[in-house]
Amino acid sequence: MRHIISILLENEPGALSRVVGLFSQRHYNIESLTVAPTEDRTLSRLTITTIGDDRKIEQITKHLNKLIDVVKLVDLTEGAHIERELMLVKVKAAGAQRAEIKRTTDIFRGQIVDVTSTVYSIQLTGTSDKLDSFLDAIGNSSVLEVARTGVTGISRGEKVLSL
């Protein structure tokens, strides 16, 4: 099963490499990874999506917790949560295609953020599934380039991940 693990990490040199290293060292899988400092500049927030059965996920969270630089973590998929990913995608848009792509972008509530006579650059936010569906709808043959940020997330309601 796919899990989204959010981590508060000391904003220290090398801290990220300890997390990433743990995954490769123990043969865990990283589907996506996002990281940036939080409102408290001494902390980074890191979000990892990974795939594994309950036993594996338990080991992953235990080993992450053992890393000295990891301050706190939560498996967002254990409860109600919001996940978002941002994608920038460059597609061929010439002739009749232009209107069709514009319409599809609107349906997915994306925005065309750059235009040339033959190319649209589209920005789209949503769950990873939604971004996948958009790419399916546009069709592989039209897609020139894709840049995705990876998933970030937050739990629903009053629960917070903070110190």
Partner 1 sequence: MELLSGGEMLIRALHDEGVELLFGYPGGAALHIYDAIFNQDKVEHILVRHEQAATHAADGYARATGRPGVVLVTSGPGATNAITGIATAFMDSIPMVVISGQVDSSLIGSDAFQETDMVGISRPIVKHSFMVQSAEDIPIIVKKAFYIATTGRPGPVVIDVPKDVTDPARKFEYRYPESVKMRSYSVPSKGHTGQIRKAVEILLSAKRPVIYAGGGVIQGNASDLLTRMARILGYPVTNTLMGLGAFPAPDKQFVGMLGMHGTYEANMAMHGSDVVLGIGVRFDDRVTNAVSKFCPGAKILHVDIDPASISKTVSADVPIVGSVTSVLEEMIELIRQSETQIDKKSLDMWWQQIEGWRAKDCLKVTDAGNDVIKPQQAVQAVYEATKGEAYVSSDVGQHQMFAAQYYHFNKPRRWINSGGLGTMGFGFPAAMGVQLAFPDAISVCITGEGSIQMCIQELATCLQYGLPVKIVCLNNQSLGMVKQWQDMQYGGRYSHSTYAESLPDFVKLVEAYGHVGIRVTKLSELSQKMEEAFALKNRLVFVDVYVDPSEHVYPMAIKGGSMKDMYLSKTERT
Return the closest-CA partner of residue 1 out of 78, 91, 67, 71: 78
Non-local CB neighbours of 47 within 8 Å, separated by 6+ positions: 4, 5, 6, 7, 32, 33, 34, 35, 150, 151, 152, 153
Q: How far is the CB of 57 from partner 1 (least distance, A)?
A: 12
The pair of structure tokens assigned to 121 is 């650059």
**Cα 71–chain centre separation:** 21
Q: How far is the CB of 55 from partner 1 (least distance, A)?
A: 7
Q: Which is nearer to partner 1, 41 or 136 (CB)?
A: 41
Which residues of the chain form contacts with partner 1 (CB under 8 A)? Answer: 10, 13-14, 17-18, 21, 25, 55, 58-59, 62-63, 65-66, 68-71, 163
Q: Which is nearer to partner 1, 17 or 111 (CB)?
A: 17
The pair of structure tokens assigned to 113 is 């953020």
3-state secondary structure of 23: helix
Q: Which is nearer to partner 1, 53 or 136 (CB)?
A: 53
Distance CA 93, CA 57 (A): 43
Q: How far is the CB of 1 from partner 1 (least distance, A)?
A: 18
The pair of structure tokens assigned to 127 is 């769950």
Q: How far is the CB of 138 from partner 1 (least distance, A)?
A: 41
Return the closest-CA partner of residue 52 out of 8, 2, 15, 108: 2
Q: How far is the CB of 29 from partner 1 (least distance, A)?
A: 17
Q: Which is nearer to partner 1, 68 or 96 (CB)?
A: 68
Q: Which is nearer to partner 1, 5 or 138 (CB)?
A: 5
